[in-house]
């Protein structure tokens, strides 16, 4: 396993691994700061799983450290109580796909905090399209909402960025350690009970396992399994990400979003071309 | 909990020389003592340093600061600076004053603490402001008189204006004309009125109809956007920046920031801590606590009163229509204290919500329908990178352009060469320039045993040098006689490089050069030349025992000028006054310790002159590059190549014995210094590891 792999690990377990690039996560700020004190520069970022408690101990973390707050949309107003986080850290919100997504995205972006839609926590997709609509058409949005932002900007450049690029599950790039110390390639794979190894006696993964093979060669796996994903209109933007864990996942709201992104990118490209023609 | 920068609103007194009807502060004569100030700021700096803050902006407010004495303010400001420095916090002071008691006696304070800039307040027409027997127009007339005096002294002023009912009856163009054209202000901020504290009984009179105020402001913005006069009208220019550039680049005032609680707090004359001066004065029951009674600012900042205020925007999101508003990201619900005064609780939208909606809508339409006009705003301004600019084409020569001086610096090496300028000095200098030109001199330094600006022919010399093909012209000045007109005349004549001597802050500089008022003069000179922005602007500081503890502070000030290109720290030759005052000169050991804390990363303009290499190997040195400067000091001197420019220096025995590999790069040590103190210091640090790990820089 390469030293460059980014490992997301509960803060209380972080001292048990000797990896160089760690993202420590916890609901407790004290656990996070304590892990940072022990691990120092090996901590590349932190993920805070709660905004409710007193966050003052985070002041012990270095300025500019990437801090990702995992947030249910209903808790987004807390961002305004803790605006100092954005002044001090490279702050981002990982927002669950649930009721209130539109309001949550509006609150975070109004406070100039970038948002990433958390595709590992999808409960209710009812507001996904309205969140995209807000991102595309509200003139005051000045920070990215991912995955919308990267997909549209890529389309405008004539390139493609897929969900797999934005939510990497490749074990050569990213590993996720769960609360029990078991290693997977993402939180959703861990919840589905699909593991690559453990951290007992140091972080080890089984590079001969079927899961490892599947993760490294997704397209091949999809073709060999006869998956319908291959012929899906949204495959270029999804690459089989949505149904990788649950083959019955309802992709329709996402396909609607992908389609809107492509249409919008085309409209913008046409407008830009026209403007260039007119010499504006 | 704060970001890396925090603001402290400091109210040293509630005492005021005015009696304005709309004032929200108590009419009390209470002032903080220096001892109390020391306790309060010691606790503030201790907490802020421990919570990762790097920079503290201290906003001095009243009451009225100018009811205190200038001496007290200077001591208080230095005390704050020193307490913050002890915790590695950088501090910047700002002053808000009604200006009514301004006199030039305040200048040293204003230059040393506030960089020559003041914030003041003036309404038009004046309805509420009163000063002694003056009110209405006579108040403004007195303010204008003080303002004129302040401007004539080189001070910069920003003004806050609060509209009133009579303002709304004016044509917006008349209002704009008064501030921008009649007064010539370049920075104006409009605040909305409210009624709190003692003024709460005037609520009906003070609060303006939000729609009518909105209409007036839209009219004013229409005028403002049609002008191209360099005036900045806030908070609306901040809103333009926010719409066009996003949050990071926008400078919006507190009432439009996402959560004011995360940006600042206020400390009052009795050590009381609250959110801002308006909260402190109007709603003392909502204070967070008292720093003279509690030694932990952290406890006060987590008090229920502050936590409740911190949750205000979150409450608005949950319980009001704010989140549905298209302008929520621009105002975040507005000002909590105005809301409190209007609605009895901060947990409502700002009472001027309708005003702001009108104004934001107008600004947005304007910006988006005039894309060409605002095109330049789309990208963030590129901050000029600060790097040392040094060196000159060789050989160079020194023109002794004056033997007279206004000062008598404690370190002046040519002190005994000073005299009245000889009657034929002009002829000598023109001849010298001609001879220099013929002998291939490429650079001329206009300096002397005295102050060049005392010579009325200086501009003519410069022009003559330029006409004779010498293009690289430098002049040294202590700031005396520097005016905008003179600098423009010099630059027109061909002067490209200005070098101003500044040896300390305030009285320290005055003590070093032994003339009262000379600091203000020198600092103003830097400011004037900086604004004109010649090719190079260097500042020279002669290191000595009186200014060693101020060096970093001084370096920060010099960096604060956008166009400075070098800050030279030099050791004087032990000649003339320097030898007489040798006990006040700098010992090498403390200098080595002081310079160890200074890095080029933090102070990129720093360069050392006549400082032995091993004192600070991590900083750039001029070294012996002045070898190629030729000096004709007396009639007997011929203009010879001064191959041993550092002739007053020796290489210490200790360095030779240790076979120091920097001997060739090093200027050595003044031979009289070695006679006085020997080379014991050097022997000690030759045995010790360097104080700075050069590889880590």
Quote the pLDDT of residue B378: 39
- Write down the pLDDT at residue B247: 55
- Answer yes or no: are the C-beta atoms of A148 and A109 closer than 8 Å: no
CATH of the domain at B114: 3.20.20.70
B323 closest CB neighbour out of A63, A84, A103: A103
Judge whether B4 is closer than 8 Å to chain A, CB to CB. yes
Treating both helix axes as pointing N-terminal to C-terminal, what angle do B518-532 and B107-114 enclose, rounded to 10 degrees? 50
Mean pLDDT value across residues B262-275? 96
Q: Collapsing DSSP states into helix, strand and coil, what is residue B349?
A: coil
Contact B329 A111 (CB under 8 A): yes
Say yes or no: B467 and B358 in one domain: no
A67: β partners: A46, A91
Range of the domain at B97: 5-377
Is B516 at the interface with chain A, CB within 8 A? no
For residues B330 and B103, what is the distance between their CA atoms, to the nearest angstrom? Answer: 40
B1 has a chain A CB within 8 A of its CB: yes
Q: Which of B69-83, B178-192, B196-210, B414-428 has the lowest mean pLDDT?
A: B414-428
B408-430 burial code (b ≥16 CB/10 A, e <16): ebbbbbbbebbeebeeebbebbb
Question: Does pLDDT of B168 surpass 90?
Answer: yes
Rounded distance between C-alpha atoms, residue B159 and residue B145, angstroms: 15
In a domain, B302, yes or no: yes
Mean predicted confidence (pLDDT) in B456-470? 94
Residue B572 · residue B613 · CB < 8 Å = no
pLDDT at A64: 85
Q: What pLDDT, in 10s, does the model give residues B611-641? A: 998 888 889 988 754 444 555 555 555 544 4
Q: What is the pLDDT of residues A38-83, one digit of tens each?
A: 999 899 999 999 887 788 899 889 888 999 999 999 999 999 999 9
Q: Which residue has the higher pLDDT, B123 or A112?
A: B123
Residues of chain B neighbouring A82 (CB-CB closer than 8 A)? 1, 262
Q: Where are the beta strands (DSSP E) in B222-347?
A: 232-234, 264-267, 272-274, 289-290
Residue B117 binned pLDDT confidence (cut-offs 50, 70, 90): very high
Q: Is the pLDDT of residue B372 over 70?
A: no
Nearest residue on chain A to B247, judged by CA atoms? Answer: A112
Local structure of B316: helix, strand or coil: helix
Question: Which two structure tokens, joined as six digits, stand for B581?
Answer: 């005052």
Name the residue among B541, B241, B560 with its Cα closest to residue B411.
Answer: B541
Query: Element (H or E) spanning A66, and its range?
Result: strand A66-71
Determine whether the interchain pair B3/A110 forms a contact, defined as Cβ–Cβ distance below 8 Å: no
* Inter-chain touch A88–B51, beta carbons under 8 Å: no
Does residue B292 lie within any of the structural domains? Answer: yes
Is there a contact between A112 and B1 if contact means CB atoms under 8 Å apart?
no
Q: Nearest residue of A to residue B367 by CA position?
A: A139
Asked if residue B509 lies in contact with residue B502, where contact means CB atoms within 8 angstroms, the answer is: yes
**Contact predicate B267/B11, CB 8 Å:** yes
pLDDT of residue B633: 53
Q: Answer yes or no: is B365 within a domain.
A: yes
Identify the H or E element spanning B289.
strand B289-290
Which residues does residue B135 pair with via DSSP β-bridges, in sequence order? B130
Which ipTM score applies to this complex? 0.89
**B405 and B365 housed in the same domain:** no
Calculated CA dihedral for residues B139, B143, B145, B151, nearest 10 degrees:
-170
**Is B284 within a domain?**
yes
**pLDDT value of position B692:** 53
Looking at the structure, do residues B247 and B368 belong to the same domain, yes or no? yes
> B317 vs A142: CB contact, 8 Å cut-off?
no
Q: Which of B1, B258, B332 sits opposite A55 (nearest CB)?
A: B1
Residue A167 has pLDDT above 90, yes or no: yes
> Do B311 and A81 make contact, defined as CB atoms within 8 angstroms?
yes
Residues B554 and B469 in one domain: yes
- In whole numbers, what is the pLDDT of chain B averaged over residues? 89
| Residue B366 shares a structural domain with residue B497 | no
Please tell me the total count of domains within chain B. Answer: 2
Chain B residues 660-679 within an 8 A CB cutoff of chain A: none
Helix locations, B63-133, DSSP H: 70-86, 107-114
Do B402 and B352 share a domain, yes or no? no
Select from A232, B120, B581 the least CA-distant residue to A242: A232
Bridge partners, B203 (sequence order): none
B211 and B88 share one domain:
yes
Q: Residues B196, B339: one domain?
A: yes
pLDDT at A1: 66
Are B4 and A142 an interchain contact pair (Cβ–Cβ within 8 Å)? no
Nearest-5° Cα angle at B419, B417 to B420: 150
Q: Which of A83, A106, A142 minimises the CB distance to B323?
A: A106
CA atoms of B290 and A143, how far apart (whole Å): 39
Of A58, A76, A84, the CB nearest to B262: A84
* Any A CB within 8 A of B310 CB: yes
Please choose, from the candidates A31, A46, A107, A22, the residue with its C-alpha nearest in 3D space to the C-alpha of residue A72: A107
| CB-defined contacts A:B, below 8 A | 82
Q: Mean pLDDT across the stretch B163-181?
A: 97
Q: Which pLDDT band, with edges at 50, 70 and 90, does B498 fall under?
A: very high
Could you tell me if B370 lies within 8 Å of chain A, comparing CB atoms?
A: no
**Three-state DSSP state, A80:** helix
Dihedral sign for Cα atoms in the order A108, A114, A117, A118:
negative
Both tokens of residue A142?
A: 């000045």
Residues of B in contact with A140 (CB under 8 A): 243, 326-327, 329-330
Q: In this prediction, what percent of chain B has a pLDDT beyond 70? A: 92
Q: Are residues B406 and B350 in the same domain?
A: no
B390 falls within a domain: no
Q: At what angle do helices B236-245 and B210-226 cross, to 10 degrees?
A: 70
Mean pLDDT of chain A: 92
Whether the CB-CB separation of B192 and B147 falls below 8 Å is answered with no
Q: How far is A143 from chain B (nearest CA, A)?
A: 8
Contact with chain A for residue B304, Cβ under 8 A: no
The pLDDT, as a whole number, for residue B211 is 97
| B251 plus B354 within the same structural domain | yes
User: Most confidently modeled of A226-230, B129-133, B522-526?
Assistant: B129-133
pLDDT band with cut points at 50, 70 and 90 for residue B644:
very low
Q: Is B332 on the interface with A (CB under 8 A)?
A: yes
* For B368, nearest residue in chain A (alpha carbons): A139
Strands B264-267 and B272-274: antiparallel
Structural contact between residues B560 and B115, judged by C-beta atoms closer than 8 angstroms = yes
Report DSSP state, residue B56. E
- Asked, for residue B639, whether it belongs to a domain, the answer is yes
Same domain, B370 and B467: no
Residues 6+ apart with CB under 8 A from B81: B91, B553
| Cross-chain Cβ contact B243/A140 below 8 Å | yes
Interface membership of B141 toward A (CB under 8 Å): no
B684, part of any domain: no
Confidence check: pLDDT of B374 > 60 = no
Q: Give strand pairing partners of B96.
A: B119
* pLDDT for res B647: 67
Q: Which residue in chain B is spatially nearest to A63 when comparing CA positions?
A: B4
Q: What is the mean pLDDT of residues B140-158?
A: 94
Asked if residue B528 has pLDDT above 70, the reply is yes
Distance from CA of A140 to the nearest CA of B (A): 7
Contact B507, B108 (CB under 8 A): yes
Using the beta-carbon criterion (under 8 Å), do B329 and A59 form an inter-chain contact? no
Residue A81 to residue B310, Cβ atoms within 8 A: yes
Residue B323 forms contact with A (CB below 8 Å): yes
Give residue-wise pLDDT tens across range B564-574: 999 999 999 99
Claim to verify: residue B406 and residue B359 sit in the same structural domain: no
Q: State whether B51 and A59 contact (CB < 8 Å).
A: yes
pLDDT of residue B381: 44
Q: How many CA atoms lie within 13 A of A110 on its CB side?
A: 31
Could you give phi then psi for residue A119, rounded to 5 degrees?
A: -80, 0
Query: Higher confidence at residue B514 or residue A279?
Result: B514
From residue B229, alpha-carbon distances to B119, B158, B180, B224 in Å are 20, 16, 8, 9
The pLDDT, as a whole number, for residue B508 is 86
**Cα–Cα distance for residue pair B429/B399, rounded to 1 Å:** 7
* Residue B479 counted as domain residue: yes
Prior bond of B395 cis (ω within 30°): yes
Q: Is A269 helix (H, G, I), strand (E, B) or coil?
A: helix
Q: CB under 8 Å to B617, separation ≥6 — which residues?
A: B662, B690, B692, B694
């Amino acid at each position: 396993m390469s030293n460059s792999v980014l490992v997301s690990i509960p803060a209380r377990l972080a001292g048990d691994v000797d990896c160089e690039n760690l993202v420590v996560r916890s609901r407790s700020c004290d656990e996070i700061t304590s892990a940072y004190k022990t691990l120092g520069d090996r901590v590349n970022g932190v993920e805070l799983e709660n905004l409710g408690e007193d966050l003052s101990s985070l002041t012990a973390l270095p300025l500019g450290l990437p801090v990702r707050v995992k947030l249910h949309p209903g808790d987004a107003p807390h961002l305004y109580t803790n605006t100092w986080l954005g002044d001090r850290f490279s702050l981002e919100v990982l927002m669950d796909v649930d009721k209130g997504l539109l309001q949550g995205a509006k609150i975070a972006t109004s406070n100039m905090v970038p948002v990433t839609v958390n595709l590992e926590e999808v409960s209710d997709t009812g507001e996904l399209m309205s969140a995209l609509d807000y991102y595309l058409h509200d003139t005051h949005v000045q920070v990215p909402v991912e995955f919308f932002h990267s997909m549209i900007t890529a389309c405008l450049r004539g390139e493609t960025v897929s969900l797999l690029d934005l939510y990497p599950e490749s074990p050569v790039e990213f590993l996720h350690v769960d609360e029990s110390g078991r290693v997977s390639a993402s939180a959703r794979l861990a919840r589905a009970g699909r593991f690559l190894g453990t951290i007992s006696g140091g972080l080890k993964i089984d590079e001969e396992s079927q899961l490892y093979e599947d993760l490294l060669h997704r397209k091949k796996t999809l073709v060999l399994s006869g998956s319908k994903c291959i012929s899906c209109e949204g495959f270029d933007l999804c690459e089989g990400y949505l149904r990788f864990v649950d083959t019955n996942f309802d992709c329709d709201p996402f396909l609607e979003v992908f389609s809107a992104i492509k249409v919008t990118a085309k409209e913008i490209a046409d407008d830009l071309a026209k403007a260039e023609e007119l010499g504006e | 909990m704060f970001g890396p920068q925090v603001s402290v609103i400091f109210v040293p007194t509630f005492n005021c020389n005015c009696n304005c009807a709309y004032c929200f502060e108590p009419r009390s004569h209470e002032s903080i003592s220096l001892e109390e100030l020391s306790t309060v700021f010691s606790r503030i700096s201790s907490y802020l340093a421990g919570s990762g803050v790097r920079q503290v902006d201290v906003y001095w407010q009243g009451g009225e600061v100018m009811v205190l004495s200038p001496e007290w303010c200077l001591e208080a400001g230095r005390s704050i600076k020193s307490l913050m420095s002890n915790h590695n916090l950088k501090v910047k002071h700002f002053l808000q004053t009604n200006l009514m008691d301004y006199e030039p006696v305040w200048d040293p304070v204003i230059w040393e603490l506030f960089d020559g800039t003041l914030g003041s307040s003036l309404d038009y027409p004046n309805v509420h402001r009163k000063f002694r027997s003056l009110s209405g127009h006579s108040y403004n007339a007195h303010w204008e008189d003080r303002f004129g005096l302040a401007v004539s002294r080189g001070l910069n002023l920003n003004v806050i204006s609060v509209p009133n009912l009579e303002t709304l009856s004016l044509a917006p163009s008349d209002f704009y004309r008064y501030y921008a054209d009649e007064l010539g202000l370049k920075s104006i901020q409009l605040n909305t009125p409210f009624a709190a504290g003692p003024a709460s009984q005037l609520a009906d009179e003070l609060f303006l109809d939000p729609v009518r105020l909105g209409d007036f402001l839209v009219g004013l913005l229409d005028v403002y956007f049609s002008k191209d006069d360099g005036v900045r009208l806030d908070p609306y220019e901040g809103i333009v920046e926010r719409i066009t550039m996003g949050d990071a680049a926008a400078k919006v005032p507190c009432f439009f920031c996402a959560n004011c609680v995360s940006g600042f707090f206020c400390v009052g004359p009795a050590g009381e801590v609250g959110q801002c001066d308006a909260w402190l004065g109007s709603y003392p029951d909502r204070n967070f606590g008292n720093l003279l009674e509690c030694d932990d600012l952290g406890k006060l900042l987590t008090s229920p009163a502050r936590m409740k205020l911190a949750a205000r925007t979150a409450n608005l999101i949950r319980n009001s229509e704010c989140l549905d508003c298209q302008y929520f990201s621009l105002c975040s619900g507005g000002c909590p204290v105005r809301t409190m005064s209007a609605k009895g609780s901060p947990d409502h939208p700002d009472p001027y919500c309708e005003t702001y909606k009108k104004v934001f809508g107008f600004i947005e339409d304007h910006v988006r329908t005039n894309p060409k006009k605002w095109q330049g705003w789309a990208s963030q301004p590129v901050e000029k990178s600060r790097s040392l600019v040094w060196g000159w084409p060789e050989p160079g020569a020194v023109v002794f352009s004056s033997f007279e001086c206004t000062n008598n610096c404690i370190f002046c090496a040519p002190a005994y060469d000073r005299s009245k300028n000889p009657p034929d000095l002009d002829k000598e200098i023109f001849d010298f320039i001609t001879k220099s030109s013929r002998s291939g001199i490429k650079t001329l330094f206009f300096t002397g045993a005295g102050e060049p600006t005392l010579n009325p022919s200086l501009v003519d010399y410069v022009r003559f040098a330029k006409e004779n093909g010498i293009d690289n012209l430098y002049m040294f000045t202590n700031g005396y006689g520097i005016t905008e007109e003179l600098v423009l005349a010099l630059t027109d004549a061909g002067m490209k490089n200005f070098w101003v001597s500044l040896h300390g802050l305030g009285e320290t500089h005055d003590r070093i050069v032994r003339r009262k008022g000379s600091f203000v003069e020198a600092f103003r000179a830097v400011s004037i030349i900086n604004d004109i922005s010649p090719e190079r602007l260097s500042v020279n500081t002669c290191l000595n025992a009186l200014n060693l503890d101020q060096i970093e502070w001084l370096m920060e000030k010099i960096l604060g000028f956008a166009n400075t290109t070098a800050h030279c720290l030099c050791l004087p030759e032990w000649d003339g006054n320097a030898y007489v005052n040798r006990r006040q000169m700098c010992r090498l050991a403390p200098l080595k310790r002081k310079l160890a804390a200074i890095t080029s990363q933090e102070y990129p303009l720093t360069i050392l002159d006549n400082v032995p290499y091993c004192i600070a190997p991590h900083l750039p040195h001029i070294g012996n590059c002045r070898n190629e400067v030729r000096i004709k000091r007396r009639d007997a001197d011929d203009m010879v190549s001064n191959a041993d420019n550092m002739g007053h220096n020796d290489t210490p025995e200790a360095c030779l014995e240790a076979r120091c590999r920097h001997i060739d790069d090093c200027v050595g040590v003044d031979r009289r210094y070695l006679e006085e103190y020997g080379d014991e210091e050097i022997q000690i640090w030759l045995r010790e590891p360097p104080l700075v790990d050069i590889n880590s820089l």
